[in-house]
């Protein structure tokens, strides 16, 4: 039963893929109440805020079907080069005023060049010197040496989303592979960095494929998991995707909580629209605030 699995997780046990698939069809009210109890057991009412800044945008070489910067998107995107260390520090000081813990620097493209890494590292050093922010980076498919350089500058965590399950990933992107993503995560860990990795819901994936992604994240030892909700963008191949139903979103998050009980499950892209709809449902209104932190 749901309560049996909840008690198993709280006592330190692990659920199986079959257990997770059972939860994917279980009574939603009972599922959410159990997931909320797991959340409260391991995190109480604490939560963690991460702010994001785009340090380099546009001109991406990758063909991810959901992204406006993709080579397969038919939408003009204003490109900009790597921002200056001075501007980066100015942004960071503003975030530092709002008690934000993590500050993630995000760049478009398959990977950031060594030249750009050298440039951004001076800005990262200034952030670490002048603020209390913990710096994260999302710079693509880097290697261990590049990650060590970022760590020496003060980076604590890198971000690299799996996006979906291994078997569904080739339907979303063919310009890089799932194994490249996993190799990047392993390289970052070897360099002594923490890793943030999650995915996107609403890509026409099945509940089973969401569960497969969650178990891959567990296998990789990921303890910071951002879950994005697709906002269909005109001009992309997924522009006509229908938004997920609010309670389907809630169910997916609840199942992730069972699979990854000690991970920070972060509500990321798409939350502004999707969770506005969730407030209309009594189940979500009572549970979403604590369940999704």
Answer yes or no: are the C-beta atoms of 5 and 257 closer than 8 Å: no
pLDDT in tens, 206-251: 999 999 999 999 999 999 999 999 989 899 999 999 888 889 999 9
Coil, strand or helix at 225: strand
Coil, strand or helix at 262: coil
Q: Is the pLDDT of residue 18 over 90?
A: yes
The count of C-alpha atoms lying within 13 angstroms of the C-alpha of 158, restricted to the half-sphere facing its C-beta, is: 31
Coil, strand or helix at 265: strand
Q: Which residue has 């993503």 as its token pair?
A: 181
Long-range contacts of the stretch 182-185 (C-beta < 8 A, 24+):
182/220, 183/141, 184/140, 184/141, 184/142, 184/160, 185/160, 185/220, 185/222
Q: Is the pLDDT of residue 106 over 90?
A: yes
Counting residues of the chain whose pLDDT is more than 70, the rounded percentage is: 92
Amino acid 291: pLDDT: 46
Q: Is the pLDDT of residue 194 over 50?
A: yes
Calculate mean pLDDT across residues 271-290: 55
Q: How far apart are the first and last CA of the chain?
A: 25
Cα(131)–Cα(92) distance, integer angstroms:
7
pLDDT in tens, 110-155: 999 999 999 999 999 999 999 999 999 999 999 999 999 999 999 9
Q: Is the pLDDT of residue 288 over 60?
A: no
pLDDT: is 281 or 153 the higher one? Answer: 153
Calculate mean pLDDT across residues 4-14: 97
The pLDDT confidence band at residue 279, using thresholds 50, 70 and 90, is low
The pLDDT confidence band at residue 86, using thresholds 50, 70 and 90, is very high
What six digits make up the tokens of 216? 């891959």
pLDDT: is 173 or 70 the higher one? Answer: 173
Q: Is the pLDDT of residue 36 over 60?
A: yes
Cα(139)–Cα(145) distance, integer angstroms:
13
Counting residues of the chain whose pLDDT is more than 90, the rounded percentage is: 73
The pLDDT confidence band at residue 290, using thresholds 50, 70 and 90, is very low
Q: Which residue has 């970022």 as its token pair?
A: 150
Cα(222)–Cα(211) distance, integer angstroms:
15
Coil, strand or helix at 50: strand
Coil, strand or helix at 71: coil
* Among candidate residues 135, 259, 263, 271, the one with its CA nearest the CA of residue 202: 271
DSSP 174-193: SSS-HHHHHHHHHHHHHTT-
Cα(8)–Cα(2) distance, integer angstroms:
10
What six digits make up the tokens of 66? 């959901």
The count of C-alpha atoms lying within 13 angstroms of the C-alpha of 165, restricted to the half-sphere facing its C-beta, is: 14
The count of C-alpha atoms lying within 13 angstroms of the C-alpha of 202, restricted to the half-sphere facing its C-beta, is: 27
Amino acid 289: pLDDT: 44
* Among candidate residues 215, 222, 164, 165, the one with its CA nearest the CA of residue 189: 222
Contacts of 210 (CB under 8 A, 6+ apart): 24, 164, 165, 199, 201, 252, 255, 256
Q: Which residue has 């006592």 as its token pair?
A: 11
Among 58-72, 103-117, 173-187, 262-276, the range with the most confident prediction by mean pLDDT is 173-187
Overall pTM > 0.85:
yes
Amino acid 75: pLDDT: 82
Amino acid 217: pLDDT: 98
Coil, strand or helix at 127: helix
Amino acid 74: pLDDT: 87
């Amino acid at each position: 039963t749901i309560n049996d699995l909840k008690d198993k997780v709280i006592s330190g046990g692990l659920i199986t893929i079959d257990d997770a698939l059972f939860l994917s069809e279980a009574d939603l009210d009972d599922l959410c109440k159990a997931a909320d109890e797991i959340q409260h057991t391991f995190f109480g009412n604490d939560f963690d805020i991460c702010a994001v800044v785009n340090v380099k945008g546009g001109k991406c070489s990758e063909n991810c079907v959901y992204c406006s910067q993709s080579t397969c998107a038919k939408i003009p995107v204003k490109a900009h080069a790597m921002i200056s260390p001075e501007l980066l520090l100015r942004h960071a000081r503003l975030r530092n005023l709002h008690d934000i813990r993590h500050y993630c620097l995000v760049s478009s493209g398959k990977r950031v060049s060594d030249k750009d890494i050298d440039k951004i590292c001076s800005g990262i050093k200034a952030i670490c010197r002048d603020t209390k922010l913990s710096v994260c980076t999302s710079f693509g498919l880097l290697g261990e040496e590049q990650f060590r350089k970022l760590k020496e500058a003060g980076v604590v965590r890198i971000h690299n989303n799996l996006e979906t399950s291994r078997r569904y990933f080739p339907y979303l992107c063919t310009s890089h592979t799932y194994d490249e993503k996993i190799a990047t995560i392993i390289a970052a860990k070897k360099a002594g960095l923490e890793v943030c990795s999650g995915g996107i819901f609403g890509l026409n994936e099945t509940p089973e494929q969401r569960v497969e992604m969650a178990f891959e994240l567990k296998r990789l030892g990921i303890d910071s998991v951002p879950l994005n909700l697709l906002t269909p963008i005109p001009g992309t191949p997924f522009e006509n995707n229908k938004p997920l139903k609010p309670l389907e979103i809630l169910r997916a998050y609840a199942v992730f909580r069972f699979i990854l009980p000690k991970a920070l499950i972060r509500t990321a892209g798409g939350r502004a629209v999707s969770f506005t709809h969730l407030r209309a449902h009594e189940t979500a209104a009572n549970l979403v605030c604590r369940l999704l932190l």
